Amino acid sequence: MDYNYELARLIKTEAAVTEEILAMLEIPKQGQGDISLPCFKLSKALRKSPIVIAAELAEAFPGAPFIERAEALNGYLNFFLNRKNIADELKDIAAAGAEYGRQSVGAGKTVCVDYSSVNIAKPFHIGHLSSTAIGAALYRIYSYLGYEAVGINHLGDWGTQFGKLIYAYKAWGGDGKKVEKKGIEELTRLYVRFHEEAETNPALNEAARAWFKKIEDGDAEALELFTRFKALTLKEVGKIYERLNVKFDSYAGESFYNDKMTPVLKLLEEKGLLTESDGAKIVDLSAYDMPPCILVRADGATLYATRDLAAAFYRKNVYDFYKCLYVVAYQQNLHFKQIFKVLELMDCQWAKNMEHVAFGMVSLEDGAMSTRKGRVVWLKDVLKEAVKKAREIIEIKSPDLKNKAATAASVGIGAVIFSVLYNSRIKDITFSYEKILNFDGETSPYIQYTHARCRSVMEKAGVGGNKSKALKLNGEVDLSTLADDESFDVIRALLRFPEVLRDAADKNEPCYLSRYLIDLAGKYNRFYIANRIINAPERERAARLVLTSAVADTLKTGLGLLGIGAPPKM
């Protein structure tokens, strides 16, 4: 049950409807109830003091099985929940186990999630982590809520940069063995060298454009090199995706839409939206305080925007999406505003269902990253260092632990992923190894440790196997013993899990889930310290094991949705 909503529905006042009351509810100070309604905002409409309003609402409250009592205090209407009534819901949570929180709110609806979108022949660096981790988390959350999620890696596999790369490869790549051996690392070195050489020899840029024209024209040698570079890239980034537990349903990149742009341009012409400006074809957006959306340059070349429009039509036609999300840095805010506005002007009613899920930029402590200048931090190096540090900690704290390598990978890589999912996605990040490898405080290792603690309790209690039978989830457990503050705080946190998942999807904010898991872990650890479990009297022991089981499963599910493992032992 959504207790806040049910409570808001029961509070009757002429000054606010249910949804407004719901938005006003908050958690009161310790000892002043479980849910509170501040009556100050109602004062003007009712022309009464908040103290009087709170007293009248308390007297008129009809009561409910989940509410023990309602009290007015200094302009607040405080509600005390019926702890026994609410604790009974714990049985259903524990019985659901790993499936707790799964919902069908998205049944029959498709959500396309465009994320990661790495560039061919360029390194998978720390700057790609945000898009990859945020997008993958949303993909999993939407799937868990019953949506048909489609993960799309819109590869950057088109443009003059490939002409630059081919020129550099032929000029300085030797016999190609170094590229085959070192892959993207060597391709990046060649790409950086091209830009260094072009600074003193601008003619190289013309040569690069000529090579890209050959790719467009289907030249055999140009296509062979282009295809080889693409295969090398996908092979290497595939290793990173595997370590991050990330998958995609489509790798349709920019080149995929080359033969799908003409119908879109034709439709724009038919609707009278495509105009010519200095030889280029544009959609004038000045009426909407935006610069023109350039779709065809004066030299006849199409642009990223042209391919994005073609991709939008393709995705709508193929997937008939309910939502189409673009997990891309906020630097592209204008680009997506233009794309969405052009689609709206084309009378595409579905344009309103497209959303730019923007996130902050990642920079280095001494400035912005730049592939052209060779100023990047390779993600594979970050993951390697994180796993190394996790292994060192395990060797010190748990030298007898089995599966050390797998546990270190789960902890180290999880910490890297969590580092970009804990804060609001729009926040800028300044990368430093010290920050990203800090496993103390509000980090995923803390959540993983709490999960392992729960599993340890279950194992020591002898119910680590068939826990449903061992915990007697058929109604024999007396959950009324979980009435103390620490136990009740955990139960209330567990009950919030389904709502947190919906909120994370509604706002496209995985940090809602990340912060929830930190909160749940903290509440369980306080419960663990305040209550004996294994050596408690039988009634309390059984109830506390049910609670521990539910926490363990919820933490594991939540971590999994973020793409983070949950080792049973640490």
Cα distance between residue 112 and residue 149, in whole Å: 6
Say whether both 76 and 175 belong to one domain. no
Overall number of domains in the chain: 2
Pairing of strands 274-277, 280-283: antiparallel
3-class DSSP assignment, residue 274 = strand
Q: Does any domain span residue 296?
A: no
Say whether both 158 and 225 belong to one domain. yes
Residue range(s) defining the domain that contains residue 24: 3-81
Cα distance between residue 542 and residue 14, in whole Å: 47
State the CATH number of the domain containing residue 23: 3.30.1360.70
pLDDT the model gives residue 465: 58
pLDDT the model gives residue 435: 77
Counting Cα atoms < 13 Å in the Cβ hemisphere of 97 gives: 10
356: nearest Cα among 105, 110, 149, 115 = 115
Say whether both 73 and 125 belong to one domain. no
Instruction: Tell me the pLDDT band of 396, cut-offs 50, 70 and 90.
Output: very high
The number of residues in the chain equals 570
524: nearest Cα among 449, 441, 418 = 449
Q: Which of 91, 128, 154, 230 is catalytic?
A: 128
Counting Cα atoms < 13 Å in the Cβ hemisphere of 247 gives: 7
Q: Which of 44, 84, 122, 397 is catalytic?
A: 122
pLDDT the model gives residue 168: 94
Q: Does any domain span residue 558?
A: no
Which of 331, 346, 364 marks a domain boundary?
Answer: 364
Average pLDDT, stretch 487-511?
95
pLDDT the model gives residue 57: 96
Q: Does any domain span residue 570?
A: no
Summarize pLDDT for 12-52 with one digit per residue, the tens.
999 999 999 999 999 888 778 899 999 999 999 999 999 99
Say whether both 128 and 192 belong to one domain. yes
Q: Does any domain span residue 528?
A: no
Instruction: Tell me the β-bridge partners of 37.
Output: 77
State the CATH number of the domain containing residue 152: 3.40.50.620
Cα distance between residue 380 and residue 232, in whole Å: 16
Say whether both 141 and 215 belong to one domain. yes
pLDDT the model gives residue 369: 56
Average pLDDT, stretch 517-536?
96
Say whether both 69 and 21 belong to one domain. yes
Q: Report the alpha-carbon angle 233-237-241, nearest 5.
A: 160
pLDDT the model gives residue 217: 87
Say whether both 116 and 198 belong to one domain. yes
pLDDT the model gives residue 29: 82
Which of 338, 364, 390 marks a domain boundary?
Answer: 364
Summarize pLDDT for 449-468 with one digit per residue, the tens.
999 999 999 999 988 755 55
125 catalytic residue (yes or no): yes
397 catalytic residue (yes or no): no
Summarize pLDDT for 418-450 with one digit per residue, the tens.
999 999 999 888 877 777 777 788 999 999 999
Instruction: Tell me the pLDDT band of 260, cut-offs 50, 70 and 90.
Output: very high
Cα distance between residue 432 and residue 435, in whole Å: 5
pLDDT the model gives residue 27: 86
Q: Does any domain span residue 259?
A: yes
- Cite the beta strand spans of 6-64 per DSSP E: 35-38
130: nearest Cα among 141, 122, 138 = 138
Instruction: Tell me the pLDDT band of 475, cut-offs 50, 70 and 90.
Output: low
Q: Does any domain span residue 250?
A: yes
pTM for this predicted structure: 0.90
195 catalytic residue (yes or no): no
Burial class (CB in 10 A: 0-12, 13-18, 19+), 190: buried
Q: Does any domain span residue 437?
A: no
Long-range pairs for 452-456: beta carbons < 8 A, 24 or more residues apart? 452/566, 452/567, 452/568, 452/569, 452/570, 453/525, 453/528, 454/524, 454/548, 454/549, 454/551, 454/552, 454/555, 455/552, 455/568, 455/569, 456/569
Mean pLDDT, the chain, as a whole number?
A: 92
Q: Does any domain span residue 277?
A: no
Residue 282 has pLDDT above 70, yes or no: yes
Say whether both 127 and 190 belong to one domain. yes
Cβ atoms of residues 338 and 326 within 8 Å: no
Of the chain, the percentage scoring pLDDT greater than 70 comes to: 96
Long-range pairs for 48-55: beta carbons < 8 A, 24 or more residues apart? 49/75, 50/75, 50/76, 51/75, 53/13
Q: Which of 91, 125, 389, 523 is catalytic?
A: 125
Which of 335, 364, 393 marks a domain boundary?
Answer: 364
Residue 364 has pLDDT above 70, yes or no: no
